[in-house]
Amino acid sequence: MIAYKNNPDNNIVELVTDDDSPETGSVNIAEQIEADMEQHGQLRILHEVRSPYGTDPSTFWKDARFALAHDKGFSHIALVTDAAWLKKMATSTGSTLSAEVRVFTRSKVEEARIWLKNAP
């Protein structure tokens, strides 16, 4: 499941992927991100993957395709995960985006938030 959290006062959006995350209900994550882009312009994304093995690879590729299609809509992306394969994939996919992409371990989630908050 994916939980979505935005702050109407800034352009930082947090996504949490976890088997234990609550249902997002009728909220379509892609539509919500697009609405936030409309309101704030470029977004800064923190995506925390809490599952110890990451997420289903097909989900990762779907997310990557969405990011590529909306490339100009993101200025910074922080991926927070301990899944080694996701770190490698994010590093390679991130090199194709105009957004600055950084990968943080789950123990550094607060560091990721600070990085996004202070990003130019």
- Per-domain residue ranges of the chain: 2-118
Stated pTM of the model: 0.81
- CB of 10 closer than 8 Å to CB of 23: no
Determine phi and psi for 37, rounding to 5 degrees. -60, -40
- The fold for domain 2-118 equals Hypothetical Protein Ychn; Chain: A, (3.40.1260)
- CB of 109 closer than 8 Å to CB of 82: no
Which secondary-structure segment (H or E) carries 97? none
pLDDT tens digit sequence for 41-97: 999 999 999 876 656 666 666 766 776 677 788 999 999 999 888 888 888 877 778
- Compute the distance between CA of residue 100 and CA of residue 119 in angstroms, rounded to an integer: 10
